Structure 1
């Protein structure tokens, strides 16, 4: 007999038994153009894969049935750029600028992080991602100062049941040196001789624009190892069009390259990215707050450049792609309105729609990673990475009139009911399953205490509360002026 939650939700042990799972009566956003959107839809998962998508599917005798009525079933989300190790210092940099971020990690304190601190941050970040329905995360891991740091990153990602890509980087080292070192090659052999789709590998480094192009040797190492490259491009004050030109002239712009931010590039650079088939990872909350440049989706759309979404780092923001979708749609529309109004015109039709932003958070991310044949849509035969958004206790979850708009503007991590990765239930009824949150808390607590001790209390407080520049007040000509009207005198004053 199948277990049907009309009389009570399945228990965690029911899912662990390896039985088929049938999601019943959801609004299904397949993100597959051939299947579209299904109201009152069902999805059957068997082992690691999606077996059927349709309506009124027959439940196998041994199936666990999840009543998804009133919920939205969609593919697991994909974050293509997250500095996971920094999650151990969650929220520390809430008031930082990008310059203060660089000073903290690149100049002052990046060197103090030990392998166990990388491990602690990665574990917490991985758990945070799953809790928010992000089933695949690119760990833009530029804190790997030694192979031992890299080992710790891998061990952490292997310990949490999500899908990951380790983007190996070292913010304190020269990429042309560490990418070609025997130690790094040994690391690759140790962990990635046999490739699997639960943990992939990329190289993560930036191109400074030095005409000598020292990064060429790092690109050659990536080519030799058959690894994609992810790079911060178009970051105000850090990376610019010169880096893109050097990559182009030396033949290193490929379809597998991810350009993160890409917010301050020229039209020529966008054309090079488009021509080479590259993709851009947009981190809207980061770009708006830290200062990389205005989120560039309005320009990327015009060039036909594929977009994926990312959260960047929890040292500032959440690890929540609901926030990313909402901020991205709002920023794009805001830019369209401002551009039109500057010309005395009015936008009467939004160019970017909610559905497209949901695509960027799912199948768009999968395409950027070259995983779209396996994940990113609820297509029979693909891996069962999926998210059920359902919250019967919330007044925000009804009425459900525009499903894509609901995902972007109404839903949040608290509405994530069930999450599957590779067919395994990692969250159900809003509770993580099979994950040791207490151990993660203990590890992160040790890292915070260590970092605070190493930095010293003064530096710690400066990081929490960076200096606020003085703001010159604008003179108000209406202050201390008499206003007379209809025989009534009113004296205003400027406090």
Structure 2
């Protein structure tokens, strides 16, 4: 075999042949291939099979020991918030709402939206996410929207801008001349690298003012994505009003959908809606328990998303792992509550890999062009291979390996629309340095606007005092860190987190 191609060898129009991979096509007709090859020519996948002949001048990538799969699709990511990555690691959902919706959401300038989108876009590609829905609810003005679009177009990924404004009424901004002008400026011509949705929530107000926003979406032929089933914020009343007013259209994405009743799930299923599950978010912030078990029961299509890097990881490896674990945890807990034992897992690793790829493409109405390694589809694909990692060998269960063993550091090569954007674990032509400098400026600006006290409070929210539970095991000398004792006055602190034993006696519970 000839020597491995160099980054400069991937010239536009030159065929690329991936050789000898474990190929997860996500196409039922093609199945999975051990020792499989995938040939890319131009922007599309030309052939999938074994022992494919390399065209003249093709760049041949040795994928031995690796997994070749479709590019992943994230259907809900607040990309602008990536500029403050990790700031809210210890936030609750209420603290998130206070920070962005009440206190500080209005300080973000167009250049800050631009910076966050740049970094989030590059981060997505680095982790093998080739299509991302930018749930961009920080667009307070059309100028903020212009900045979001400019950033997305400058990153060589596939994006959908979900236009929103967390500080404005959607029935107003969606019908404003300024928004219509924004749409005309950027989205008159069809562009499969950048799509458009409307992003807003339905509060449950019986007057249903959001109907005007749905009418705007219908006039502009735009899908709607909405946070639904979020504990304490959006619930069954919103779904009911959408249903009663004829606003539950096929292609609508319901994000989270974690605290809904039976009727709401039935309505989503009947209307052809899909649900974007953000398991790390739902588990940590408290929107409700990740609802995959309910969605499967109702036959509602599922896609995966990461929500926001202001809290969580920005890759779908984490999403797949968390989602599979959460679903199985609930299944075990439900069985054990009834005195039973789960002997067969209902949700499989293959299922969540599908949700992260073809499921996302289906949710966005793009399954005819992306989401599987099918000849004729756009060449959005990911090679997971890392010869330096002991966790990447042996490769026995490829779907389980993607979910439980692999991570963003194992992403070897990424193609979007036939263009190599990452190769040999290095990003190529994505503008990472520009993103870093832009975000540094935004962090400095936001920190100055908040002031040091508010900045510190955002990093370290106050912890309410809680009463320690007294340990009933009084007969043992061990006292772990933070474990209260029964009679505090009778025991002197001991060294290294232990306390000296109290009087001997059989007072503690036995057995």
User: Normalising TM by the smaller chain, what interval?
Assistant: over 0.9
Q: Is the 8 A contact 1:81 1:139 kept in 2?
A: yes
TM, length-normalised to structure 2: 0.93
Q: 1:118 — aligned with what?
A: 113
Once the two structures are superposed, the pairs formed by residues 287-302 of structure 1 within 5 Å of their partners are 287-302=282-297
Q: 2:192 — aligned with what?
A: 197
| 2:165 equivalent to 1:170 | yes
Q: 2:344 — aligned with what?
A: 349
Once the two structures are superposed, the pairs formed by residues 35-434 of structure 1 within 5 Å of their partners are 35-434=30-429
C-alpha distance in 2, partners of 1:493/1:229? Answer: 64
Give SS of 2:10's match.
helix
Give SS of 2:23's match.
strand
Give SS of 1:362's match.
helix
C-alpha distance in 1, partners of 2:128/2:357? Answer: 11
Alignment counterpart, residue 24 of structure 1, candidates 8, 19, 26: 19
Q: Is the 8 A contact 1:481 1:492 kept in 2?
A: no
Q: 1:467 — aligned with what?
A: 462
Q: 2:499 — aligned with what?
A: none
Runs of 4 or more above 4 Å deviation: 489-494
Give SS of 1:379's match.
coil
Figure out how many residues of one structure are paired with residues of the other and give that number: 484
Cα displacement (A) at 1:168 = 0.1
TM, length-normalised to structure 1: 0.96
Give SS of 2:69's match.
strand
C-alpha distance in 2, partners of 1:470/1:479? Answer: 24
Cα displacement (A) at 1:308 = 0.0
- Structure 2 stretches of 5 or more lacking a match? 478-502
C-alpha distance in 2, partners of 1:427/1:480? Answer: 60
Q: CA RMSD for the aligned pairs? A: 1.5
C-alpha distance in 2, partners of 1:40/1:446? Answer: 47
Cα displacement (A) at 1:477 = 2.9
Give SS of 2:269's match.
helix
C-alpha distance in 2, partners of 1:265/1:295? Answer: 11
